Amino acid sequence: MRHFPFSYQMIRSAVYNLAEKTLEIEFKDGSSKRLRDITPQIYAHLMNRSLCEKALSKFSQKLATK
């Protein structure tokens, strides 16, 4: 068995970087954007959603203990 000189993480990172620069996503309205332009928006949306879910969970726990 031959040893492959690159780790899984290195390959995954290279593929993601290439996709981020070149991949275009087409939306239902016919417009398209590169993944690179969309990624920060998706990340911000997911973070906001996660924070909202955490806050809601804490709020419901406080209501349950009253």
The domain total for the chain is 1
Torsional class of 34: left (φ above 0), alpha (ψ -120 to 50), beta (otherwise): beta
The answer to the question of residue 17 being in a domain is yes
The answer to the question of residue 37 being in a domain is yes
The answer to the question of residue 32 being in a domain is yes
Residue 33 phi/psi, 5-degree rounding, is -140, 155
The answer to the question of residue 64 being in a domain is no
pLDDT of residue 18: 79
**Tokens of residue 41, six digits:** 């928006």
The answer to the question of residue 12 being in a domain is yes
pLDDT tens for residues 2-44?
Answer: 666 778 888 888 887 777 777 777 878 888 877 777 777 776 7
- Domain with 34 in it: 8-54
